[in-house]
Amino acid sequence: MQITPYTRMVFYHETDRMDIVNHSNYIHMTEEARVDFMGKIGVGYQEMENQGLMLPVLGVSCTYKNSLHFGEHL
C-alpha cells in the first residue's frame, strides 16, 4: 500500500505578524496529519469511535527545525 503525504496550505490565521506559523499551531497540524493518515489506511476516526475504540494522545513533544509561513504548503 502506498500512502500519499498529507499536504495543505498554511492559513493566515495560523501566523503571527511576521507571517510565521505560531508554535502552538504545529501541534494542530500534526493532529490533522494523524487523522488523514488513519483515513488513508482505512481506519476512519468516526467509524472507530462508533465501535467504542479510542486513541487518545497522552503526550506530545515537538522540536522546531524550520518555520512555515503564510501561503506555503506543508
pTM for the predicted model, two decimal places: 0.83
**Residue 7 domain boundaries:** 1-74
Q: What is the pLDDT of residues 45-65, one digit of tens each?
A: 888 899 999 988 899 998 999
The residue from 8, 16, 28, 71 that is catalytic is 16
- Structural domain tally of the chain? 1
3-state helix, strand, coil in the chain (%, to 5): 35, 10, 60
Residue 13: CB partners within 8 Å, gap ≥ 6? none
Residue 36 catalytic? no
Q: What is the pLDDT of residue 3?
A: 86
CATH number reported for the structural domain that contains residue 38 in this entry: 3.10.129.10
Q: What is the pLDDT of residues 6-59, one digit of tens each?
A: 999 999 999 999 999 999 999 999 999 999 999 999 888 888 899 999 988 899
Q: What is the pLDDT of residue 43?
A: 86
